[in-house]
Structure 1
Amino acid sequence: MGSLAASDNSQSLVVAEVRALAGPAAALDPRLIDAAVRAWSDNTKRAFVSDLTLWAEWCRQRHIAPDNATPELVAAWIRVLGRTADGDEVKLQREWKQRSPATIARYLVHIGMAYRMGGLTDPTAEPLVKLELKAMRRARGTRQRQARGIRFKGEVADLDGPASGVCLAHLIKACRRDWLGLRDAALIRTAYDTACRRSELVSIRVDHIEGDGAGGGALYIPSSKTDAEGQGAYAYLSPATMKAIRDWKKDGDIREGPLFRRVECHADGSVRCVGNAALHPNSITLIYRRLIRDAYAKGLLGEISETRFEKLLKEISSHSIRVGVAQDNFAAGEGLPAIMQAYRWRDPATVMRYGARLATQSGAAARLAKRFTS
């Protein structure tokens, strides 16, 4: 019943946004809307609604009704968002946050879909828009900002050597010895073993985890960003991670339901209780950054200036451990197919991008330079 209600609500939101764009007299395409609602993930639906809201604001500022939008209006938006505007458009850039080429391309996909759902001509499909997007990419480049990886022992070439800087080993040491610390330790260990995305981490339930009889275990992941059909997948959990999960479950009296929950704290920072609801996906980045701050305060990160530390914090996201896992696998000599299979990647370019920075330290050029300078 709850799932049905959620589906109805999603469809209502999509219909409302398309209706607002197309106007009350438009003949909406119910089949296209229904198919989209069933095919899209919750994140895609939220992005669709958010992107249409931004487009409506742009149209309002330009004093043009969305249903009368032209390719020229779309092209101007691309220039403003991509910081390639000139003339009178330059002053508009102060009112709009700069977006990456990938984000702008996503906006155009959703906006174009909304026009087609509303039975209107799609202004994003015109050659002018496609060429403006290509020109912006050429001017800006398409390299996406990558989250800083959190590797197990940090940016080290020798995986058997001591830990250094911001790394999982130091974050584990920084965890408190109360409910909050037990939850955090189990969370980051699970994130590292499985390379789960934030949505996958907060969706883990107690019954998704099984022991393997040898100290380790397996996590069942019912669905993910790259598994829209819900076929499910399994990820390995190390003995250390299984122990951390058991400690968290025992102390938090968690027997069923969501595994990673919010821990309520008093004003002085001491813990008050363990909640019943799962963590929100947005909390994952905040937890990682808090643990890094704790590690810094305890002197675990070594010599680092406050300015450099604050810059480093901004580079951390919920994706940082996933990036670090890929980098550690490359450092350990694992091949691309094995990494993709173990951690549920479908795009080899993404994995290779994560390992690109590491390649400068351990690739052929680095080995040759080391040989001639040793």
Structure 2
Amino acid sequence: MLSNKETNGSSWREAINRLEGAYSDQTLRSYRSDFAIFDSWCIANNLCSLPASPSALAAFIAAQAPELAANTLRRRLAGIRKVHRLFHLQNPAEDEDVQIAMRRALRSRTRRPRQALGLTKELRDQLAAACSTDLAGLRDRALIVVGYDTMCRRSELAALRVEDLTSLDDGSMLALIRRAKNDPFGDGRDGLVSVVSAEALKAWLEAANISDGWLFRRVNSGRVGAEALHPHSIGRILKQRALAGGLPAEIVSRISGHSMRVGAAQDMVANGADILPIMRSGGWKSINVVARYVQNVELTRLAGWRR
């Protein structure tokens, strides 16, 4: 059995490091963060985290449940499970008491997640129009329209490179989305960039003097950096442009890095697209996720049909 002193050192961190290259950076960050939280909680309560007893894990879930969303609680449990497997230890999450603790925690809250506001065409155009003509503004306008067209997740948008673009004869482009959180082995998918969006993208690349490498980069004091935008900064950019465009604060608060993706799916439904083409365009594997994004549009169409 490992002591808390050992788990507080490099032992479990070194074990997670063995996963480098097999999992995404985001997944590894989550494993490290979630097990560190569990380890600290165990130390504070004079309990052992490796191997954790089912009773300790059940108590941890009960302590965390009032403060965490359901998905975060599931993620914490997944991180604890993974570390135990890395040490070839019995998985305490399989114990019936832990399963009961999780069911109790999940039943204590509603499962309906808070959905990002869909950046539909009308809102997209408002944000794009609010972008200035300096380097940051040109980048942000291109980011907004390309993100909408390709239905990229924020991490996918940040990972795009000039080499991923293919110009088409009509002036539009194909953008290769090489990897996604539900595409860990890089099968990839193509996103179509419209002629108008391609022009916005070319204007940014020309002004920024970018001919290869990362497509969307940091701009500091009028200078373009060499590094890609961090995915988390995309939501902040959208909120800033929404404020500049005069959108109400309650609207701005609901905008996130996924808003372009959600809004494009909603517009496709409003224009009569079936669910399967939407799933292919956005790289969704679960019909339930897409259905939740577009359900309000479907209800509006149904209400109109009933009139």
Q: TM-score when scaled to structure 2? A: 0.91
Size of the alignment, in residue pairs? 303
Q: Does 1:53 align with 2:3?
A: no
- 1:128 correspondence with 2:84: no
The amino acid that maps onto 1:359 is E
Q: Please give the alpha-carbon distance, in whole angstroms, between the structure 1 residues aligned to 2:96 and 2:39.
A: 22
1:82 counterpart = 2:65:
yes
Match of 2:305 in 1: 367
Tell me, what secondary structure is at the counterpart of 2:231?
Answer: coil
1:172 equivalenced with 2:141 (yes/no): no
RMSD across aligned positions (CA): 2.4
2:158/2:228 contact within 8 Å kept: yes
Cα 1:71–1:170 change in 2 (3 A) is same
- Alignment correspondent of 2:216: 260
Choose which of 32, 49, 56 in structure 2 pairs with 1:66.
49
**What secondary structure is seen at the aligned counterpart in 1 of 2:85?**
helix
Cα distance per residue 1:56-111 (max 9 Å; x no partner): 1211221212136322222222222222xxxxxxxxxxxxxx11112111211220
Structure 2: which amino acid aligns with 1:79? A
User: CA offsets, 1:273-326, max 9 Å, x none?
Assistant: 222221111111110111011111xxxx4xx4xxxx1x4333221111111111
Q: Is the 8 A contact 2:51 2:90 kept in 1?
A: no
Tell me the distance in 2 between the aligned counterparts of 1:263 and 1:331.
36
Q: How many angstroms apart in 2 are the aligned matches of 1:122 and 1:252?
A: 51
| Identity between Structure 1 and Structure 2 (%) | 32
CA distance in 1, matches of 2:204, 2:17: 43
Contact 2:130 / 2:245 at 8 angstroms: preserved in 1? Answer: yes
Alpha-carbon distance in 2 for matches of 1:170, 1:353:
25
In 2: Cα distance, 1:152 partner to 1:29 partner: 47
Structure 1 runs not aligned, ≥5 long: 1-16, 84-97, 154-166, 266-271
Distance in 2, matches of 1:224 and 1:42, equals: 12
Out of 215, 232, 235, the position equivalent to 1:282 is 232
User: Is it true that 1:42 corresponds to 2:11 in the alignment?
Assistant: no
Task: For residue 357 of structure 1, give the secondary structure of its aligned residue in structure 2.
Answer: helix
Cα 1:22–1:207 change in 2 (3 A) is closer
TM (norm. structure 1) is: 0.76
After superposition, residues 200-279 of structure 1 pair within 5 angstroms as: 200-265=156-221, 272-279=222-229
How far, CA to CA, are the matches of 2:101 and 2:10 in structure 1?
27
2:82 alignment counterpart: 113
In the alignment, the residues of structure 2 paired with residue 57 and residue 319 of structure 1 have an alpha-carbon distance, to the nearest angstrom, of 32
Structure 2 CA distance for aligned equivalents of residues 54 and 139 of structure 1: 22
Determine if the alignment matches structure 1 residue 354 to structure 2 residue 304: no
Greater C-alpha Rg: 1
How far did 1:22 drift? Answer: 10
Amino acid across the alignment from 1:101: A
**Residues 118 and 260, structure 2, Cα contact 8 Å, conserved in 1:** yes
Choose between structure 1 and 2 for higher RCO, CA contacts under 8 A separated by at least 6 residues: 2
**Partner Cα separation in structure 2 for residue 100 and residue 215 of structure 1:** 45
Question: How do 1:337-348 and structure 2 match up within 5 A?
Answer: 337-348=276-287
Local SS of the residue matching 2:121: coil
Distance across 2 between alignment mates of 1:147 and 1:108: 25
Is the contact made by 1:29 and 1:118 (CA closer than 8 Å) also made in structure 2?
Answer: no
Q: Which amino acid aligns with 1:129?
A: V
Q: Tell me if 1:312 matches 2:281.
A: no
1:332-363 Cα shifts (integer Å, max 9, x gaps): 11001111112211111110010122233222
1:230 aligns to what SS in structure 2?
Answer: coil
SS at structure 1 position matched to 2:264: helix
The gaps in structure 2 that reach 5 residues or longer are none
What is the letter of the counterpart of residue 275 of structure 2? L
Q: After the TM superposition, which of the residue ranges 236-245 and 251-260 deviates more from structure 2?
A: 251-260
| Change in CA separation of 1:329 and 1:67 when aligned onto 2, cut-off 3 Å | same
* Equivalent position of 1:142 in the other structure: 111
